[in-house]
């Protein structure tokens, strides 16, 4: 069973982490066996997400299971405060190098950009932050009007709900298309089959 570690921090966008948590958490194979072990990781035991939601992290930076899929959500915390947090950035850099896939949701991309992990690659983010991403990180080719972009082991997704699209894609990528389609159906989420999608899934 693969493990999915979802980074959370103060002022994280709720659906950015809750959407992927739901996707990976309910995905199962044809024998009804779960495909992923999903958990949250944070620098501090409890964080306050956007709009005051209190969340207790499953694990700390110092002690957590192996992470095969790293999910970096966005929100004010990612694009402003945590962007300059050396402890968080060092943890992301270390875990990313060991993971199979790193998935950024919305403005979570800024943390990867700040680490230089996207230099020379294509990426996307929330439509409101595309210009900022392009201006502040000119070594990144910023794509517009796409839900997610796959560049090697890094998959970046656009705003909020696009993180669900990208998470379903990762399920298909790491297991079978059928399992991702079943997850989308269970969630009553309108998702185009990954087999019909180009590398950069357009809006």
Would the pLDDT of 201 be above 50? no
Domain count, the chain: 1
- What pLDDT was estimated at residue 193? 58
Would you state the structure tokens that stand for residue 166, as one six-digit string? 């990208």
Residue carrying the six token digits 């997704």: 157
Domain range enclosing 148? 2-202
Residue 135's CB: how many other CB atoms inside 10 A?
9
192 — pLDDT class (breaks 50, 70, 90)? confident
191 — pLDDT class (breaks 50, 70, 90)? confident
Phi–psi pair at 108, nearest 5 degrees: -60, -20
Q: What is the CATH number of the domain that holds 142?
A: 3.40.50.880
- What pLDDT was estimated at residue 195? 42
Query: In this predicted model, which residue has the larger pLDDT, 37 or 191?
Result: 37
What is the C-alpha separation between 36 and 184, in angstroms, rounded? Answer: 15
Work out whether the CA dihedral 100, 97, 115, 22 comes out positive or negative: positive
Q: Minimal CA–CA distance to 16: which of 105, 149, 102?
A: 105
């Amino acid at each position: 069973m693969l493990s999915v570690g979802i980074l959370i921090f103060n002022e994280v966008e709720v659906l950015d982490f809750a959407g992927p948590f739901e996707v990976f958490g309910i995905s199962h194979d044809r024998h009804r066996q779960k495909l992923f072990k999903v958990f949250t990781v944070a620098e501090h035991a409890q964080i306050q997400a956007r709009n005051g939601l209190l969340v207790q992290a499953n694990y700390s930076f110092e002690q957590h299971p192996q992470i095969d899929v790293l999910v970096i959500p966005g929100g004010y915390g990612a694009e402003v405060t945590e962007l300059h947090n050396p402890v968080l950035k060092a943890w992301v850099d270390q875990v990313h190098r060991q993971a199979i896939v790193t998935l950024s949701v919305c403005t979570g991309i800024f943390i990867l950009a700040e680490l230089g992990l996207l230099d020379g690659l294509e990426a996307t983010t929330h439509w409101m932050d595309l210009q900022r991403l392009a201006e502040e990180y000119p070594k990144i080719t910023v794509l517009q009007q796409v839900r997610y972009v796959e560049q090697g082991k890094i998959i970046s997704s656009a705003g909020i709900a696009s993180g669900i699209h990208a998470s379903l894609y990762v399920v298909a990528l790491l297991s079978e298309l059928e399992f991702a389609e079943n997850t989308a159906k269970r969630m009553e989420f309108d998702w185009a089959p990954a087999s019909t999608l180009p590398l950069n899934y357009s809006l």
